[in-house]
């Protein structure tokens, strides 16, 4: 059908959103220009995926979102059950079998015009879905991603912006990404001010060295895929350490991988000038990745969306 014939008011095929109590195409969902979510990045969100018509580990995502609301003193009307219902409703409306599903709480607008007091703002919830988003494109997942650790930008300090409350403070990542892309890397990975490895835009990172797997302990979002990967390591009988990780340990690793809702367990084959396992995805990484996708068939870890 020619695109000019599509009635965009009714076209949900590219995603559906829930906002101010209404379901509308995601392309039409918008915040008022005075919303503090927009003017101050005073907002938290979470992202769950639907795969083959099922939400994977939705309760883990809902629990993390509730924690973020509490950390940021955001109060919304919707209960956990309401949020679950809304997420089902929008994915069902879109008919998407594989979807990226974002749910958000914003500080909102002050009820008293011009007020600078966050307590005057009317916090509000909204949600939207779009076709599944690969944080690393599918061909990069197959070949293994190439990351740059930049010198010129460090991760925002966790005592300034708490990375465990999922947020839109992406100024550091964006600067890292611009340089990484200009220098032909796939993505950026940031260190903190003490030189410890943190995370990248949308992913956590793991290293394998002499049969033991490690991932940064602090200064990162506690990714749900990171949590699932730790469970998979346990099932595979692989020892795990959650600890501070130096740049030297990252470069000395036998294998490196990323974890993200947008694509699962992703092999990393290069960091800066260093390449791992002959510039190919590592054997252990691929074994963990296979289990990650197998677990999507496990009914106990997912729930069906009623289309």
Smallest distance, Å, CB 6 to ligand PLP?
Answer: 31
Smallest distance, Å, CB 170 to ligand PLP?
Answer: 8
Q: How far apart, in whole angstroms, are the C-alpha atoms of residue 275 and residue 218?
A: 26
DSSP code per residue over 71-134: HTT---S--HHHHHHHHHHHHHHHT-SSEEEEEEEE---BSSTT---GGGB--EEEEEEEE---
User: Which CB, 96 or 221, lies closer to ligand PLP?
Assistant: 221
Q: Which of 203, 220, 224 is nearest to 58 (CA)?
A: 224
Positions in the binding site for ligand PLP (CB under 6 A): 47, 199, 202-204, 221, 223-226, 259-261
User: Which CB, 41 or 275, lies closer to ligand PLP?
Assistant: 41
User: Which CB, 43 or 224, lies closer to ligand PLP?
Assistant: 224
User: Which CB, 12 or 56, lies closer to ligand PLP?
Assistant: 56
Instruction: Strands of the chain (E only): list them.
Output: 16-19, 22-25, 43-51, 54-56, 99-106, 124-131, 145-148, 187-188, 204-209, 212-215, 239-242, 255-260, 264-271, 274-275, 302-304
User: Which CB, 91 or 258, lies closer to ligand PLP?
Assistant: 258
Residue number of the CB closest to ligand PLP reads 223
Are 18 and 91 a contacting pair, CB within 8 Å? no
Question: CB 45: neighbour CB atoms within 10 A?
Answer: 19
Smallest distance, Å, CB 64 to ligand PLP?
Answer: 7
User: Which CB, 90 or 266, lies closer to ligand PLP?
Assistant: 266
User: Which CB, 221 or 232, lies closer to ligand PLP?
Assistant: 221
- Residues contacting 233, CB < 8 A, separation 6+: 213, 239, 240, 288
- Residues contacting 139, CB < 8 A, separation 6+: none
Identify the helix (H) or strand (E) that includes residue 249: helix 247-252
Smallest distance, Å, CB 259 to ligand PLP?
Answer: 5
């Amino acid at each position: 059908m020619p695109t000019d014939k599509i009635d965009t008011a009714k076209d949900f095929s590219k995603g559906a959103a829930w906002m101010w109590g209404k379901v509308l195409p995601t392309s039409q969902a918008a915040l008022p220009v005075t919303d503090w979510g927009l003017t101050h990045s005073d907002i938290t969100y979470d992202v769950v995926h639907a795969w083959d018509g099922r939400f994977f580990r939705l309760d883990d995502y809902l629990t993390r979102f509730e924690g973020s609301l509490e950390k940021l003193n955001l109060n919304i009307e919707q209960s956990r059950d309401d949020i679950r219902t809304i997420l089902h409703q929008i994915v069902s409306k879109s008919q998407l079998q594989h979807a990226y599903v974002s749910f958000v709480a914003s500080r909102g607008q002050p009820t008293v015009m011009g007020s600078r007091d966050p307590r005057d703002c009317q916090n509000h919830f909204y949600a939207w879905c779009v076709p599944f988003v690969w944080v690393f494109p599918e061909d990069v997942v197959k070949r293994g991603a190439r990351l740059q650790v930049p010198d010129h930008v460090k991760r925002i300090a966790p005592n300034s912006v708490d990375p465990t409350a999922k947020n839109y403070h992406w100024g550091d990542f964006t600067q890292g990404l611009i340089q990484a892309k200009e220098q032909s890397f796939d993505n950026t990975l940031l260190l903190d001010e003490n030189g410890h490895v943190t995370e990248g835009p949308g992913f956590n990172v793991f290293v394998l060295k002499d049969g033991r797997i490690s991932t940064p302990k602090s200064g990162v979002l506690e990714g749900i895929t990171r949590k699932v990967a730790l469970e998979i390591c346990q099932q595979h009988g692989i020892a795990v350490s959650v600890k501070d990780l130096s740049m030297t340990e990252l470069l000395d690793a036998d294998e490196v991988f990323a974890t993200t809702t947008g694509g699962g367990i992703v092999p990393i084959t290069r960091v800066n000038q260093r390449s791992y396992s002959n510039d190919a995805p590592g054997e252990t990484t691929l074994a963990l990745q296979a289990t990650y996708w197998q677990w999507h068939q496990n009914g106990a870890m997912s729930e069906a969306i009623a289309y």
